[in-house]
């Protein structure tokens, strides 16, 4: 890839993030954002439910609020196709080749009256699929999520970068491994002692269990910190149809003062 194309790709990537960060919701694993991008021409609608497994809630003075977003609803829209001829910018976009982007928003309910007054959160993501420009190239994604509308109250603004690669030994598929790093609003993301804890690594392993069914996917993912974003999560999904799937997961928070949660996520494509 020429230096000109590489430069255009970097410029385009940051341009899209800045113009779309007022719109978006990222595709996720069980918990943290993945490198996946919604397919072009589809509208994705997600409904997430979080059920605490015991009665422990965060203290009302703790501004790190997202552990108990009991209901989360939101659409995600694909902004770019990996086929330049499909994009609004046409050949202007062609040097960027396989780059894709998605955008959406979330409505969150169940955080308590202090936060439910401002229920809208916006995020965005741009990325490249595996093997986009050369063989064995990992998937890459950069984005922001949970950008709330109230300054120093809901604007958690979690920026992240992530890479992912499917690994095989011969004909044996070991699954897809990913790693990344995130950084959020230090005024809001705090540990159990109220100290700033707003960044850290993200790791995940996932695999389609084709030996059982191509509809079955399993995953383990981890996000660091003792803020309410920090958790070890595991679960599975089942594709009932090509446009409807359900994810079931369990979330073990790094801050043990918080209740673990059971996650149910319903995903629809139109």
Annotated domain spans of the chain: 3-269
Task: For residue 2, name the pLDDT band (cuts at 50, 70, 90).
Answer: very low
Q: What span, in angstroms and rounded, lies between the C-alpha atoms of 156 and 145?
A: 8
One-letter-per-residue 3-state SS of 61-127: CCCCCHHHCCEEEEEEEEEECCCHHHCCCHHHCHHHCCCEEEEEEEEEECCCHHHHCCCEEEEEEEE
Q: Give pLDDT, residue 79.
A: 81
Let me know: does 158 contact 134? Beta carbons within 8 Å. Answer: no
Q: What is the pLDDT of residue 112?
A: 78
pTM: 0.83
* Phi, then psi, of 135 in degrees rounded to 5: -65, 140
pLDDT at 85: 61
Question: How many CA atoms within 13 Å lie on the side-chain side of 12?
Answer: 22
> Which CATH number describes the domain made up of 3-269?
2.40.160.40
| Burial status of residue 159 (CB atoms within 10 A of its CB: 0-12, 13-18, 19 or more) | middle
Band of residue 49 on the pLDDT scale cut at 50, 70, 90:
very high
Q: What is the mean pLDDT of the chain?
A: 83
Interval 117-146 mean pLDDT: 94
Cβ–Cβ under 8 Å, residues 254 and 226: yes
Contact 34, 27 (CB under 8 A): yes
Q: What CA–CA distance (Å, rounded) separates 265 from 270?
A: 17
- Which of 193 and 64 is assigned the larger pLDDT? 193
215 confidence band (pLDDT: 50, 70, 90): very high
What one-character DSSP code corresponds to residue 11? Answer: H
Which of 50, 65, 38, 46 shows the shortest CA–CA distance to 248? 50
């Amino acid at each position: 890839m020429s230096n000109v194309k590489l430069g255009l790709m970097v410029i385009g990537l940051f341009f899209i993030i800045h113009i779309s960060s007022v719109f978006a919701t990222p595709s996720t694993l069980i918990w943290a954002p993945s490198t996946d991008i919604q397919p072009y021409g589809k509208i994705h609608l997600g409904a997430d439910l979080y059920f605490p497994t015991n009665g422990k809630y965060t203290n009302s003075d703790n501004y790190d609020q997202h552990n108990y977003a009991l209901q989360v609803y939101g659409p995600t829209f694909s902004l770019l196709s990996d086929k330049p001829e499909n994009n609004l910018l046409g050949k202007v976009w062609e040097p960027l080749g396989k780059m894709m982007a998605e955008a959406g928003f979330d409505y969150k309910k169940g955080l308590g009256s202090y936060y439910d007054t401002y229920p809208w959160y916006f995020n965005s993501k741009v990325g490249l699929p595996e093997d986009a420009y050369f063989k064995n190239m990992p998937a890459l994604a950069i984005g922001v999520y949970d950008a709330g509308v109230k300054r120093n109250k809901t604007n958690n603004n979690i920026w992240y970068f992530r890479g992912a690669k499917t690994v095989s030994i011969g004909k044996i598929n070991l699954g897809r491994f990913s790693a990344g790093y995130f950084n959020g609003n230090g005024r809001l993301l705090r540990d159990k002692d109220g100290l700033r804890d707003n960044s850290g690594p993200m790791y995940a392993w996932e695999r389609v269990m084709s030996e059982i069914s191509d509809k079955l996917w399993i995953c383990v993912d981890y996000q660091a910190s003792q803020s309410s974003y920090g958790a070890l999560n595991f679960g599975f999904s089942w594709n009932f149809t090509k446009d409807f799937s359900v994810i079931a997961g369990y979330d073990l928070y790094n801050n043990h003062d918080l209740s673990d949660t059971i996650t149910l996520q319903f995903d629809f494509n139109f």
